[in-house]
Structure 1
């Protein structure tokens, strides 16, 4: 199976959740180096992920904005 895109969604709360998820995010990046790894999260968690070489894109979402069905982030799920 060829995986070319991975979307990791961490919209639980804060920086602690990102720290807990970081090992899983990095494991995905190492396991599928050819895949485009995108992480969707809130501030301040995105700040931690921006310099990670295994992550290709970090999308910072405002709290509450994702609930709107016309938000651009929903296009990532298509």
Structure 2
């Protein structure tokens, strides 16, 4: 019966895959937060499980500082 978990030969790639996935998630939000007028560093919170949902709703429904300054 085949195992569902990877064997010991795959363990060294685990951290590498996690770093790649974090970059894939963080990079677009880095630019989104920058264009919205918020700190780019908020994008690092997108890899935190429950905080990312809260932050996504905050980003969707808040008044963006960049748009406030453009309308004045």
Normalising by structure 1, what TM-score? 0.24
**Structure with the greater relative contact order (CA < 8 A, sep ≥ 6): 1 or 2?**
1
| Structure having the larger proportion of residues in helix | 2
Normalising by structure 2, what TM-score? 0.26
- Please say which structure displays the higher CA radius of gyration: 2
